[in-house]
Amino acid sequence: MTINPSVQSSVPGQAREDEAPARPGFWRKALIRRRYNVTLGQTFMLLDRGSDKLVLRAPHLGDRKVIYAPVRKWGGIYSRESALKQEYRKIQAIKGSVRDGSHLALEMTPLAGRDRISNHFTLEVTEARANLEKEICSKEPTFAVRLGYCQQFLNGLMNLHRLGMAHGDIKPENCLVYDDGLLKIADFGKTAAVSGGAGKMYKGNLRFCPPEGLLSIKGDIYGSALLMIRVLEETPGILDDQGQLLPVPDKDRESSITGMGRGIEKYVVEHRRFIALDSQTLGGKITRRLPRQMKLAHLSNKRRKEQQELLSQYIDALCEKLVCQIDLPKATGDRLGLLLKNMAAGNPVRRMTAAQALDRLTSIVQDVAKNT
């Protein structure tokens, strides 16, 4: 799910499909009233929604407070309340076992009585400044700050993996950035315990999905490489006016599909060699997502090799442009490229762990600091 604390397009200046039209206050209040029986004195503002939960600002609960409420449709016939409860139980299990949860969004409180929305299971959390996608598109973070976000992300992922758990839905929208610059990984709805190198069927987003189609710790590493590429490529001067680093050649373009995202997300969605998809509509999930999800488990070695070659070219282009645009030392750019390529290896056995990736990235960060 996308958890972002304010409704703003991931693409600056471009409205998303789920953004409010001309009068956001009116239609959002109507949406809440239509799906829930809102108690007198309660005030909610819809900030975002995912497959399982709504994210609502709740001023009556205090400053900077938001709540998670289950998605309900068709007059309450369809409800994701059980999924929200299950996610909360997972979070409590992680919170009780994790060695360092400073980069995991685990702090939330179930509401009781009149504070609950329509007497449904409701969670209170502290509002973040932005999700990572919105943060990197603001153009404000320097390259060093962007590397710092990648460090914090890998720290959180490392501590989750140490519990033998895979996140299962890696993407920038599932990372929250707070006012003090702290980054936390959020949304554990797809998270599951995995044993050894085994994995389960992948059910997360298809933009950052591993080519083997499995929910696993090594699958998280693949998605993390794409997330880090996404963070770094929004450094000013890297993407062109169309939000592209490497345009997809017409002969390789997926027919009738235009990626809604930018950079690597747009590339993997539009390139026919990948299985990526960014459709969030119910029709899109039925007609396009499910067939592609089935293909993931049966992707040929040839197709995986082609994907890896394309990603390798993309990473080379990114690092070369960073060297040219921000005077990144070439040796440092080469080390960054090797790190990303290792994390995005087509064969999951060859991917490093989050701890190893964090160690190598920390060394790169130190090199950058010496040259600034």
pLDDT value at 31 more than 80: no
Select the more confidently predicted residue: 15 or 311: 311
pLDDT level of residue 291 (50, 70, 90 thresholds): low
pLDDT of amino acid 276 = 63
Does the pLDDT value for residue 93 go beyond 50? yes
Please name which of 230, 276, 232, 236 lies closest in space to residue 253, comparing C-alpha atoms. 276
Q: How far apart are CA 182 and CA 38, in angstroms?
A: 33
Q: What is the pLDDT of residue 140?
A: 82
pLDDT band at residue 26 under the 50/70/90 scheme: very low
Residue 175 pLDDT > 70, yes or no?
Answer: yes
Q: Determine the Cα–Cα distance for residues 196 and 356; give it in Å rounded to an integer.
A: 17
Q: What angle do CA 298, 302, 308 make, to 5 degrees?
A: 100
Whether the predicted pLDDT of 35 surpasses 60 = no
Instruction: State yes or no: pLDDT of 112 exceeds 60.
Output: yes
Res 103: pLDDT: 98
What are residue 275's phi and psi, to 5 degrees?
Answer: -105, 10
Q: Is the pLDDT of residue 368 over 90?
A: yes
pLDDT tens column, 176-213: 999 999 999 999 999 999 976 566 888 888 889 999 88
Confidence of residue 118 (pLDDT cuts 50, 70, 90): confident
**Whole-number Å distance between alpha carbons of 213 and 282:** 21
Distance CA(139)–CA(125), nearest Å, equals 27
Q: What is the CATH number of domain 24-126?
A: 3.30.200.20
Q: How confident is the model at residue 25 (pLDDT cuts 50, 70, 90)?
A: very low
Between 1-5, 69-73, 153-157, 294-298, the lowest mean confidence (pLDDT) is in 1-5
- Which residues are paired to 271 by β-bridges? 253
Per the rule left: phi > 0, alpha: psi between -120 and 50, beta: everything else, 168 is left
DSSP three-state, residue 176: strand
Instruction: Single out the residue of 294, 238, 296 nearest to residue 268, CA to CA.
Output: 296
For the record, the structure tokens of 327 come out as: 């005077």
Contact yes or no for 117/97 (Cβ under 8 A): no
Q: How far apart are CA 245 and CA 73, in angstroms?
A: 39
Of residues 9 and 42, the one with the higher pLDDT is: 42
Strand partners, 124: 67, 109
Q: Do 130-370 and 24-126 fall under one CATH topology?
A: no
* Number of residues that make up the chain: 372
Give, in degrees to the nearest 5, the angle at Cα 364 between 360 and 370.
145
pLDDT tens figures, 124-171: 999 999 999 999 998 789 999 999 999 999 999 999 999 999 999 999
Q: What is the residue-averaged pLDDT of the chain?
A: 83
HSE, side-chain direction, 13 A CA sphere, residue 146: 24
**Domain parsing of the chain, residue ranges:** 24-126, 130-370
SS3 state of residue 372: coil
Whether 159 and 101 have beta carbons less than 8 Å apart is answered as yes
> How far is residue 364's CA from residue 167's CA, in Å, rounded to a whole number?
25
Rounded to whole angstroms, the Cα distance separating 216 from 161 reads 10
Q: What is the pLDDT of residues 40-77, one digit of tens each?
A: 456 778 888 877 888 988 887 877 788 998 888 766 66
pLDDT of residue 277: 58
Classify strands 72-73 and 175-177 as parallel, antiparallel or unpaired. Answer: unpaired
Helix (H, G, I), strand (E, B) or coil at 162: coil
Instruction: Kindly give the pairing relationship between strand 123-126 and strand 53-57.
Output: unpaired
Angstrom distance (rounded) from CA 122 to CA 117: 7
The DSSP line for 279-311 is --SHHHIIIIIHHHHHHHTT--HHHHHHHHHHH
CA nearest to 184, candidates 229, 126, 140, 121:
126
**Better-predicted residue by pLDDT, 343 or 16:** 343
Superfamily of domain 130-370, CATH level 4? Transferase(Phosphotransferase) domain 1 (1.10.510.10)
What is the pLDDT, as a whole number, of residue 280? 53
> Which residue do the tokens 């900030």 mark?
47
Residue 256: its pLDDT value, please?
66
What is the dihedral angle through the alpha carbons of 70, 75, 76, 80, rounded to the nearest 10 degrees?
-40
pTM comes to: 0.85
For position 11, what pLDDT does the model report?
Answer: 31
Q: How deeply is 109 buried, as exposed, middle or buried, from its count of CB atoms within 10 A (0-12, 13-18, 19+)?
A: middle
Q: Quick: pLDDT tens for 309-350.
A: 999 999 999 999 999 999 899 999 999 999 999 999 999 999
The total of other beta-carbon atoms located within 10 Å of residue 76's CB is: 13
Q: How far apart (Å, rounded) are the C-alpha atoms in residues 16 and 364?
A: 35
Q: Which of 202, 184, 197, 229 is nearest to 321 (CA)?
A: 229
pLDDT over 70 (residue 34): no
Residue 260, pLDDT above cutoff 80: no
